[in-house]
Amino acid sequence: MTQTVGITAFGAYLPRLRLQRKAMAAANAWANPSIVAQSKGERTMANWDEDAVTMAVEAARDALPQSADPIKSRAFVDALYFASTTMPFADRQNAGIVASALTLSEDIHTADITGSQRAGVSALIAGAEAVKSGSAKAALVASGDRRKTRAGAVQEFQYGDGAAAFVFGSENVAAKLIGTNSVSVDFIDHFRGESEEFDYNWEERWIRDEGFTKIAPKAIKGLLNKTGIAGSAIDHFILPCLFARIDQQIAKMCDIDPSKVRDNLGATVGECGTAHALLMLAQALEDAKPGQKILVASFGQGCDAALFEVTSAIDKVRPHRGVKGWLARRKEETNYIKWLAFNGLIELEKGMRAEKDNKTALSVTYRKRDMLFGLVGGKCEKCGTAQFPRTRICVNPNCRAVDEQTPFSFAELPGKILSWSADYLTYSQDPPSHYGMVTFEEGGRFLSDITDVDVGTVDTGTKVRMAFRIKDFDDRRGFRRYFWKAVPAS
């Protein structure tokens, strides 16, 4: 009997800030009047403390169980594939950071998949193949991108920041994998050299006529032929593309009804690089009904394509927020200077308080990795008191038991602000620096940075959740430190 392999859980993440393209155009029209044509809608804008890794962690949390004990509830995951072209580390496994933040077992296979815009779908195929081959029982696939462009570039308007995640397994499958197909062609539509910050983009007509309309149909038709599925049977067609109506043209070339092409989220999100096909797939699954077929493809030095059939389990597999939930959690941003500062496109005066050495002790980072990356504290076996950080002696004055604490994660626990400050004297990339004492329903408290907030919106009693973010940067050595911060629960 053939094993059924497919998606058993899915999630997404979109940053809270939405940069208004009208404000972007107004700031750049003096140099390029034609840029006004790009002024409709908005794009997602990552906060200064977000990157491909932190967004992938949030997307994975949206898909995975959010129990009070994530260490146990996520133990079933035994492989992790992380896809991105904007990974923060060139020689440090970024997937390992994602796994640590999710408190996954250290006895799992992890891999970074990069080098092409189709890396997200490539990771989907790798995750599915791992389960199909038996090398993994449950594979987590996560993708996130925060692409950087020159100020005023057309791509600055077109791109967006975001992430998506999927779990592949063989039990309680919500979307069965019917088949995959890949075409590999070294067609260079853009590239970014090893020492370069920005992509170099080639002429649009060449990319459209020689790239998308010749390479993508070959991969998609090949998939349909391999699976014996007619194009007319496709209910949702996904192909991220910045060129208007090219996705519909390609659908028609493959005998797929153009009306089945999914909205590419260009007006509200922008294109999120390697994560975008996965983000669109997550949104399609939120809308899909049992029996429907979803074809997802991604272009980049070739084309990867995968075909899924939705099962009756789809109604039991829903993300905690999903694309719709994150779209609703938004704040309009019209300050283009803030955008430039958050992306390192201008150098603002930081003042003397920023003049400190942020060197990280890597030995300490390793020894305390569960605390720093997984927000793991301890819970006393004798009295049940939870505390952060974990110590040999219980903090309960009526207990004080020695060496009785077991690992206990605070990452998924709801919390409240006990006391807080909004500090303009402390250096922050987004002043004022908000921080305060956070208490948790299960017990325990600690001093935490507070992010994704505006002046006047934080108060004692404000409900918060914890989010994995960048703590600070070591620009001298090219290192960045991660930790958990409090964000509003709503």
The residue-averaged pLDDT of 173-181 equals 98
State the chain's mean pLDDT as an integer: 96
Which residue shows structure tokens 């390992």? 96
Question: What is the DSSP code string of 204-258?
Answer: HHHIIIIIIHHHHHHHHHHHHHHHT--GGG-SEEE---SSTTHHHHHHHHTT--G
pLDDT (tens digit per residue) in 29-72: 999 999 999 999 999 999 999 999 999 999 999 999 988 899 99
Listing DSSP states for 6-62 in one string gives EEEEEEEE--SEEEEHHHHHHHHTTT-GGGGGG-SSEEEE--TT--HHHHHHHHHHH
127 phi/psi in degrees, rounded to 5? -65, -45
**Would you say residue 143 has pLDDT above 90?**
yes
Half-sphere exposure of residue 437: CA atoms within 13 angstroms, side-chain side: 7
Is the pTM higher than 0.85? The answer reads yes
H or E segment to which residue 355 belongs: none
- Percent of the chain at pLDDT exceeding 70: 100
Contact 448, 438 (CB under 8 A): yes
Question: Is the pLDDT reported for residue 2 higher than 80?
Answer: no
**Taking 90 as the threshold, does the pLDDT of residue 10 lie above it?**
yes
Write down the pLDDT at residue 350.
Answer: 85
CB of 299 closer than 8 Å to CB of 274: no
pLDDT on residue 1: 47
Domains and CATH numbers, the chain: 6-342 (3.40.47.10), 352-375+410-488 (2.40.50.840)
pLDDT of residue 355: 83
Name residues whose C-beta falls within 8 Å of residue 13's C-beta, 6 or more positions apart in sequence.
55, 56, 58, 59, 62, 144, 162, 163, 164, 326
Residues 6 or more apart whose CB falls under 8 angstroms from that of 38 comprise: 21, 24, 25, 154, 157, 158
Rounded to an integer, the average pLDDT of 289-306 is 98
Q: Specify the pLDDT at position 304.
A: 98
pLDDT at residue 77 greater than cutoff 70: yes
Q: Which amino acid is at 301?
A: Q
- For 259-286, the pLDDT digits (tens) are 999 999 999 999 999 999 999 999 999 9
Rounded-to-integer distance, Cα 81 and Cα 141, Å: 5
Least confident of 315-324, 346-355, 460-469: 346-355
pLDDT tens across 207-232, in order?
999 999 999 999 999 999 999 999 99
Summarised one tens digit per residue, pLDDT across range 390-447 is 999 999 999 999 999 999 999 999 999 999 999 999 899 999 999 999 999 888 999 9
Closest CA to 278 of 389, 167, 178, 438: 167
E strand spans, 344-477: 376-380, 386-387, 405-409, 415-423, 433-440, 445-449, 463-474
pLDDT value, residue 199: 94
8 Å CB contact between 103 and 376: yes
Q: What is the DSSP letter of 313?
A: G
Q: According to the model, what pLDDT value does residue 68 have?
A: 85
